[in-house]
Structure 1
Amino acid sequence: MTGLHFEQRLRDLVGRKQVLLSDIWGVVHNGLESFPEACEALHRFRHEGGTVILITNAPRPADSVQRQLRKLGVADEVYSAIVSSGDLTRHYVADHPGGKVFWLGPERDNSIHRGLDVALSPLEDASYIICTGLYDDETETAEDYRPMLLRARERKLPLICANPDIVVERGDRLIYCAGAIAELYRELGGEVIFYGKPHRPIYDRAMMLAEQHAGRPIAREEVLAIGDSVRTDLAGAHGFGIDCLFVTRGIHSEEFAGVEQLDPASVKELFGHPPRALMRELKW
């Protein structure tokens, strides 16, 4: 295993890569503002003939993600398509029509069940749980849900996690996501089905769209993933057999503050399976 240093420009890394599978939150924006240089980098890659698929653990369908991106000033031309964990969760619900669902998450995520044949029910009557997040991610943690999860475990309810992230950035703070609740439920002995990174279905969907845009099959060697999470982006890329550019401005920013280069021991400790390269923030 070799050491890693910080690269400055995406254009020096892409080489023969034809597809970028880019994370959104932490790479393109932080929940409150977009990162213009990252948007320009993705746009330039597309201008050079590449395909950019935004791949996100947002617990909302792609059209809702697109509306948020537009509000933050991210132009449609920055990317070719969006794949979200919310889309995959909706596919699960559509494949189980007429079910009674206990929905756990904030009201802003109501698009997760919009237009589907599903009845929202109390926990005591539900067939399964859809978790898109915490009711109040400004003040709550997963531990606040322990009593509820214990009741769900007693009923042997599957929990469908629509966002495997544990935390994400919101401005300069970290807030808890659905993945924190899902991991606690799994620790308590509950059954959890995850949709999103690092799990394979979201990568399969992204590659299908990439090949549609390219008009031909795409080899793994032609793909570069970009993300800011060891647990989701890096692990997902490694599991799918593609290179990963790790951006450190996101949820791991404090761990890399003041670091200019990583020796092999540090690479193994921080990453396990190392990324292809490091960047502070995405720039062309």
Structure 2
Amino acid sequence: MTQIIQSLAEIAADYDVLFCDLWGCLHNGVEPYPAAVSALQNFRRQGGRVVLMTNAPRPGKYVQEQLDRMCVPRDSYDLIVSSGDAAQDAMFAGAVGRKVWAIFQPKDEGFFSDIPAEWQDAPMIERVPLDEAEGIVCCGLFDDMTEVPDDYRARLTIARDRGLPLLCANPDVVVDLGETRLYCAGALAELYTDLGGQSLYFGKPHPPIYEMARRRLGLGKDMRYLAIGDGIATDVPGAVAEGIDALFVTGGLAFDQFGPDVENPDPAMLDEWLATRSENPRYSMGRLR
């Protein structure tokens, strides 16, 4: 049974490093949550390290630019590691070939054009039409404001028949932009898998993003880590797989499942909801604070 807490400060002394999700925890896609910012700042002031770990399909420096535009203070975190970082590493390593059909938006251009130093001498990645591709790289829908995954069914069926692997740069299925719910790359990868295609993942809950975070911090698995997130299919199972504790933020993606007060989830409703998903995060709270 998960333990509902009222603030991060209640348990902060038990941990050295936080792996903190962004959307639904630190911000809502439009503006930051002031209480969450303060909680992370306080953790760092007490000597802790904060990694903002996101399934955004862009390299971390572009995520930081977005946070700067939202006025998220840089003293609230030490490092940003994205699914885009881990997936980009796999793409340049040739995980889905060198000629790829890319499903992305202009904001994701850096995923292809901003080549990490360690891959500067690697053979180039060429974006080509589907009928010329060796694989697929999916950063998200071409237009996530108007499209749904089923709009891609015919093209993904063709890709499946050709045996193309799909590299998913963002395992999230949906995300909330303010009050609007949008589909992410994970929704297309999920559809592709359902069609019988092969989808490859590198963000949460899969190991590469955690390995990259520890490597960039220069820390090993012996530190005391806490994963914070609102993704019951990503943040929580990712923590379990890494052998670390999870703090589930109920007021994010599942905000409407635990009673009328987003800040204070109903314990019985929460326990029942978690049980149906076979997940048991060590801690839960309404909003990060």
Is the pair's TM-score, using the shorter chain for normalization, greater than 0.5?
yes
1:271 CA displacement: 4.3
Residue 148 of structure 2 is matched in structure 1 by 141
Correspondence 1:235-254 to 2 at 5 A: 235-254=237-256
RMSD in angstroms over aligned alpha carbons? 1.8
Runs of 4+ in structure 1 deviating by more than 4 angstroms, as ranges, are none
CA distance in 1: counterparts of 2:221 and 2:140, whole angstroms: 34
Instruction: String of CA shifts for 1:116-159, please: whole Å, max 9, x gaps.
Output: 42111000001111000011111111101000101111111110
Residue 222 of structure 2 is matched in structure 1 by 219
Residue 118 of structure 2 is matched in structure 1 by none
Contact 2:258-2:269 at 8 Å conserved across structures: no
In the alignment, residue 266 of structure 1 is paired with which amino acid? E
Instruction: String of CA shifts for 1:218-257, please: whole Å, max 9, x gaps.
Output: 525x110000010000111111111001111211101123
CA distance in 2: counterparts of 1:276 and 1:31, whole angstroms: 26
Correspondence 1:255-266 to 2 at 5 A: 255-258=257-260, 259-262=265-268, 266=272
CA distance in 1: counterparts of 2:246 and 2:220, whole angstroms: 20
Correspondence 1:169-180 to 2 at 5 A: 169-180=176-187
Q: Identify which range, 144-153 or 87-96, moves more after superposition.
A: 87-96
Contact 1:14-1:224 at 8 Å conserved across structures: no
CA distance in 1: counterparts of 2:276 and 2:212, whole angstroms: 29
Identity of aligned residues (%): 41
Contact 2:204-2:234 at 8 Å conserved across structures: yes
- If asked which structure has higher relative contact order (CA below 8 Å, sep 6+), I would say 1
CA distance in 2: counterparts of 1:164 and 1:251, whole angstroms: 14
In the alignment, residue 193 of structure 2 is paired with which amino acid? R
In the alignment, residue 286 of structure 2 is paired with which amino acid? R
**Structure 2: gaps of 5 or more residues:** 116-123
TM-score w.r.t. the length of structure 1 is: 0.92
Residue 107 of structure 1 is matched in structure 2 by 106
Contact 1:267-1:274 at 8 Å conserved across structures: no
The alignment partner of 1:134 has SS state of coil
The alignment partner of 2:99 has SS state of strand
Contact 1:174-1:251 at 8 Å conserved across structures: no
TM-score w.r.t. the length of structure 2 is: 0.91
1:37 CA displacement: 1.1
Residue 233 of structure 2 is matched in structure 1 by 231
The count of corresponding residues between Structure 1 and Structure 2 is 276
